[in-house]
Structure 1
């Protein structure tokens, strides 16, 4: 089964934050999943990595 990829807007909506916040997390939080650059204007995150990051944050908080 192919990996599900999420765009920035979808990730932001999932956490109830602005898209800019997702980019800030990706640059400042070393535990946040790295984005995958598909082209110069297309970036996605692996859903499985976002799920794992969210689960890890719930355990530590």
Structure 2
């Protein structure tokens, strides 16, 4: 970009800050989505009754 020196410094500082902010926010958003996604998946499987251990021979200990 062809900007005067004070503006070019401001622009480069803003770009560095926005890059760091984007990295942090993407980690936060992905973590929330992962926890919510697998949490809902686990709750649905619990309600449906999938992957529950069924007794192989209920007449013995």
Same fold (TM over 0.5): no
Hey, which of these two has a bigger chunk of helix by percent?
2
Query: Normalised by the size of structure 1, how large is the TM-score?
Result: 0.29
Query: Normalised by the size of structure 2, how large is the TM-score?
Result: 0.29
* Larger RCO, structure (CA 8 Å, separation 6 or more): 1
Hey, which of these two has a bigger chunk of strand by percent?
1
Larger Rg: 2
